Amino acid sequence: MPIRQLSARGVRNLAPLVLLPHPRVNFIYGNNGSGKTSVLESVHLLSSGKSFRTHQLKHILNRDDDRLEVSIDLADSPDGEPGDSLYSLRLKNGDHLFRLNGSVLGSQADAATRLPVLVIEPNTFKLLSGSPEERRQFMDWGVFHVEASFIEQWRTFRSLLKQRNAVLKQKELEWLDVWNEGFIEAAEKIDDYRRDYLQRFKPEFDRTLKLLDPELEVGLSYYPGWEKNTPLADVLKKQAERELQLGFTQAGPHRAEIRIKSDKQNAADVLSRGQQKTVVAALKLAQGILFKESTGSPPIYLVDDLASELDGAHRLALCQVLEDLKCQVFITSIEKGQVLDTWQPAEYKVFHVEQGNVTEE
């Protein structure tokens, strides 16, 4: 469901903020350093418990403040179900509290389910050039949101992996076969979830990329985390000696990734920055389209600095896919016209940010 109200205080340079966004398109513009990204960061923080630009949350807390609070009220569902309320409090000493509808949150996954958020920002090209972990997390965001039992399966797998690693470290050879059985079973389930997801995802990605840039040829291939087309049991048997030496598990779904190639080369090595941003946008948009197909409503998009790296035609194409998705979207830019000159959606609100103050126009 879209955000009905966003309140924040203690977030970077932002003055205490109460925002009533439009359920569809929200333009946020302002000079460098005015606080645009910080608005998006507040939303992201409630969804994932993390920032998309720093690993250390202490940097988000305003330098002169000792508490950071963000709360979001979501719109009621079309059948009249009252919208969820999410609230996060972080203190300077690191203590934090998260409430969902007034009760302490069980796990961050619950917040992500209520407030599904996808980000497209200037650093998103790292999804192509960064470590396999980034692409694995991207894929798992999709699997998690379309397959409710994935998270439980993943937790089971993680705990088996930990136990198997302990056995390897202690060189308890006699226990290895015992642990292998459960490990392989859990690994194959994760692999099945991911394969099913990617089978649906690939055609959606191809279609979306064509809309954004008909010239770009990019292929996705799935690497399960071990030798393709070989049973994991055989791989583990073959690698047993080496794994005992190393003391950890080398093959398994914790090593999976999606490989993204253009003309048989890594897309990150051959595509221009703008092309890379377009490919990443297609990945994120396709993910949102599948999400909507599975859950009935679209995720919320945070598009930071839309204009960077993209020319007018590519900006417009991206915005049109967002419009077709009928999602709530927050788009930042430095100048108001950078987006509005190329795209005038049917319904939208404009917010201006000036030295940490956000005002609706």
Ligand X SMILES: Nc1ncnc2c1ncn2[C@@H]1O[C@H](COP(=O)(O)OP(=O)(O)OP(=O)(O)O)[C@@H](O)[C@H]1O
Query: Checking DSSP bridges between strand 103-104 and strand 117-120, what pairing results, if any?
Result: unpaired
Q: How far is the CB of 12 from Mg ion (least distance, A)?
A: 10
Q: How far is the CB of 61 from ligand X (least distance, A)?
A: 6
Among 6, 17, 24, 30, binds ligand X (CB under 6 A): 30
**Residue type for 38, please?**
S
Q: How far is the CB of 218 from ligand X (least distance, A)?
A: 28
Gap between the Cα atoms of 150 and 152, Å rounded: 6
Gap between the Cα atoms of 147 and 158, Å rounded: 18
> Which tokens in the block code for residue 50?
């993390």
Is the sign of the CA dihedral 276, 136, 284, 217 positive or negative? positive
Among 12, 114, 135, 194, binds ligand X (CB under 6 A): 12
**Residue type for 229, please?**
N
**In 3D, which of 82, 63, 65 has the Cα closest to residue 73?**
82
Mark out the alpha helices in the chain (DSSP H runs).
Answer: 36-48, 108-114, 126-129, 132-146, 150-169, 173-212, 232-246, 267-270, 273-295, 312-325, 337-340
Backbone phi, then psi, for 20, in 5-degree steps? -110, 90
> Which tokens in the block code for residue 195?
């394969």
- CB under 5 A: which stretch of 31-39, 97-105, 256-264, 318-326 binds Mg ion? 31-39
- CB under 5 A: which stretch of 15-23, 37-45, 187-195, 346-354 binds Mg ion? 37-45
Annotate each residue in 267-306 with x if it binds ligand X (CB under 6 A) or - if it does not, as one string. --------------------------------------x-
Q: Which is nearer to ligand X, 198 or 350 (CB)?
A: 350
Among 22, 24, 36, 90, binds ligand X (CB under 6 A): 36
Q: Is 92 in the site for ligand X (CB under 6 A)?
A: no
| Secondary structure element (H or E) that encloses residue 350, with its range | strand 348-354
Q: Which does 287 bind (CB under 5 to 8 A by kind): Mg ion, ligand X, none?
A: none
Q: Which does 38 bind (CB under 5 to 8 A by kind): ligand X, Mg ion, none?
A: ligand X
Q: How far is the CB of 37 from ligand X (least distance, A)?
A: 3
Among 1, 8, 34, 278, binds ligand X (CB under 6 A): 34
Backbone phi, then psi, for 145, in 5-degree steps? -80, -20
Residues 37-56 that bind ligand X (CB under 6 A): 37-38
Look at residue 96 and give its three-state secondary structure: strand
Measured from each CB, the residue nearest to Mg ion is: 37
Q: Which is nearer to ligand X, 32 or 245 (CB)?
A: 32
Q: How far is the CB of 277 from ligand X (least distance, A)?
A: 15
**In 3D, which of 222, 108, 133, 232 has the Cα closest to residue 180?**
232
Contact residues for Mg ion, defined by CB under 5 A: 37
Contact residues for ligand X, defined by CB under 6 A: 12-13, 30, 32-38, 59, 61-63, 305, 334
